[in-house]
């Protein structure tokens, strides 16, 4: 067990990230007095008994779907809070993955112009990446993550036990963001991750050290640029084409897997644009191929649809897309590129000859 904690600096108030092995004795009752719980439906089903102390407080059950991660979902939670007597000094405790987190952050920000919230992330993605940084987004009219706020939690508690019941797909997807943070972070973390994979593969073993390093990699960025004015944009690495693929697949391809595709594609373009070192491109591609062998997706993917999707991306400005592109490990730069037919041709070449996954 890791005994120390991370303290994340935020202009809204610093907050600790605690690491805990099991669910037992998470909170004392006096701490829970003013709390209202927002919990993922499946987490409730699996861990309801173990969480009975927390669940003695009123709780709202979140449908973990992108359809529920909307203003409609937000409205239902807010009405529930009012009906159950939550006041300005109340505290929200959110238990679940990124969907529950996004909803809880949004609600905590708008309820009486802001209430405290505590987060217990339960997926690998949320434990190793999204639980810090305080960003959130909900979907609008079928478009992903269109509305959002930044509202820091007062505490994050990472309980390793939650990972035991995560599906293989969710686990492999969670590793996608860890791979990303290993490239945007230090060489040391990249080496640590490779060592970890050598010993454990993509298995649910000895994860706390990797989760901690992954969070430190993100912490180094968000503490310098909390509101994504500049540096924080490096964390968008892989996300432009990743989000496009998620949309085209109608979210049948999990987020973390989609961004692995996005990273490999932008690395490929980076090599063509003389930004990315070819050695790094090949090294990263081979690493992903080793751990995500033979992935086939029944998605009809073509360069035109990818271009059409990125034209809708919020990072588009005046016909230009701002891409986060690695020169090498730990050296990510933001470059604007025009989105035109030439880019579409290059993407087609990638899909025809270099794609990391198979699409049919």
Which residue in 269, 279, 258, 284 sits closest to 324, CA to CA?
Answer: 269
> Which region, judged by CB under 6 A, interacts with ligand NAD, from 20-28, 131-139, 193-201, 326-334?
131-139
Is residue 219 a contact partner of residue 181, using CB atoms and an 8 Å limit?
A: no
Residues 277-316 that bind ligand NAD (CB under 6 A): none
Exactly one of 166, 197, 222, 234 binds ligand NAD (CB under 6 A); that residue is 166
Exactly one of 10, 40, 103, 350 binds ligand NAD (CB under 6 A); that residue is 40
Q: How far apart are CA 172 and CA 200, in angstroms?
A: 13
Strands 35-40 and 59-62: parallel
Is residue 131 a contact partner of residue 156, using CB atoms and an 8 Å limit?
A: yes
In sequence order, the 6+-apart residues with CB closer than 8 A to the CB of 31 are: none
> Which region, judged by CB under 6 A, interacts with ligand NAD, from 161-169, 204-212, 220-228, 315-323?
161-169
Nearer to ligand NAD, 231 or 343 (CB): 231
In the chain, the DSSP E strands lie at 5-8, 15-20, 35-40, 59-62, 91-96, 116-121, 138-140, 143-147, 155-159, 296-297, 316-317, 320-328, 331-338, 358-359
CB of 168 to ligand NAD, least distance (A): 11
Q: What is the number of helices (H) and of strands (E) in the chain?
A: 13, 14
Residues across the chain: 360
Nearer to ligand NAD, 122 or 267 (CB): 122
CB of 127 to ligand NAD, least distance (A): 8
CB of 341 to ligand NAD, least distance (A): 30
As a dihedral over the C-alpha atoms of residue 346, residue 352, residue 354, residue 360, rounded to 10 degrees, the angle is 130
β-partners of residue 139 are 70
Can residue 204 be called a binding residue for ligand NAD (CB under 6 A)?
no
CB of 155 to ligand NAD, least distance (A): 16
Q: How far apart are CA 103 and CA 46, in angstroms?
A: 21
Residues 67-86 that bind ligand NAD (CB under 6 A): 69
Exactly one of 158, 255, 264, 284 binds ligand NAD (CB under 6 A); that residue is 255
Which x/- pattern over 83-122 shows residues binding ligand NAD (rule: CB under 6 A)?
A: -------------xxxxxxx-------------------x
Nearer to ligand NAD, 126 or 276 (CB): 126
CB of 163 to ligand NAD, least distance (A): 6
Which residue in 192, 263, 185, 188 sits closest to 231, CA to CA?
Answer: 185
User: DSSP assignment, residue 68?
Assistant: T
Can residue 170 be called a binding residue for ligand NAD (CB under 6 A)?
yes
Q: How far apart are CA 332 and CA 213, in angstroms?
A: 18
Nearer to ligand NAD, 96 or 326 (CB): 96
Exactly one of 73, 133, 185, 270 binds ligand NAD (CB under 6 A); that residue is 133
CB of 227 to ligand NAD, least distance (A): 14
Can residue 185 be called a binding residue for ligand NAD (CB under 6 A)?
no
Q: How far apart are CA 23 and CA 291, in angstroms?
A: 30
DSSP helix/strand/coil, 95: strand
Which x/- pattern over 136-155 shows residues binding ligand NAD (rule: CB under 6 A)?
A: x--------x----------
Residues that bind ligand NAD in the complex, under the rule CB under 6 A: 40, 42-43, 46, 64, 66, 69, 96-102, 122-123, 125-126, 130, 133, 135-136, 145, 162, 165-166, 170, 255
């Amino acid at each position: 067990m890791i005994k120390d904690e991370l303290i994340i600096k935020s202009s809204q108030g610093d907050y600790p990230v605690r690491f805990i092995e099991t669910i037992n004795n998470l909170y004392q009752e006096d701490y829970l007095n003013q709390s209202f719980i927002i919990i993922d439906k499946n987490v409730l089903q699996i861990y309801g008994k173990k969480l009975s102390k927390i669940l003695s407080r009123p709780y709202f059950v979140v449908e973990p779907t992108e359809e529920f991660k909307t203003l409609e979902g937000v409205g239902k939670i807010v009405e529930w809070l009012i009906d159950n007597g939550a006041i300005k000094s109340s505290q929200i405790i959110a238990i679940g993955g990124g969907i529950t987190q996004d909803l809880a952050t949004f609600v905590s920000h708008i309820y009486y112009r802001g209430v405290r919230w505590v987060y217990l992330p339960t997926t690998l993605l949320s434990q190793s990446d999204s639980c810090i940084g305080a960003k959130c987004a909900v979907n609008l009219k079928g478009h992903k993550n269109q509305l959002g706020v930044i509202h820091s939690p007062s505490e994050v508690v990472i309980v390793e036990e939650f990972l035991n019941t995560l599906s293989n797909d969710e686990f492999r997807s969670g590793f996608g963001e860890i791979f990303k943070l290993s490239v945007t972070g230090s060489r040391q973390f990249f080496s640590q991750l490779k060592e970890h994979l050598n010993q454990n593969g993509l298995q649910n073993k000895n994860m706390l050290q990797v989760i901690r390093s992954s969070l430190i990699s993100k912490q180094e960025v968000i503490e310098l640029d909390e509101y994504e004015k500049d540096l924080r944009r490096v964390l968008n690495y892989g996300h432009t084409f990743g989000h496009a693929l998620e949309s085209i697949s109608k979210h049948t391809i999990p987020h973390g897997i989609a961004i692995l595709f996005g990273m490999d594609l932008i690395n490929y373009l980076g090599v063509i644009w003389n930004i990315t070192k070819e050695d790094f491109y090949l090294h990263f591609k081979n690493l992903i191929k080793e751990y995500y062998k033979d992935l086939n997706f029944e998605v009809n993917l073509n360069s035109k649809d990818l271009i059409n999707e990125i034209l809708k991306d919020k990072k588009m400005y005046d016909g230009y897309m701002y891409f986060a592109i690695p020169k090498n490990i730990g050296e990510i730069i933001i470059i604007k590129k025009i989105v035109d037919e030439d880019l579409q041709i290059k993407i087609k070449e990638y899909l025809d000859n270099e794609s990391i996954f198979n699409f049919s």
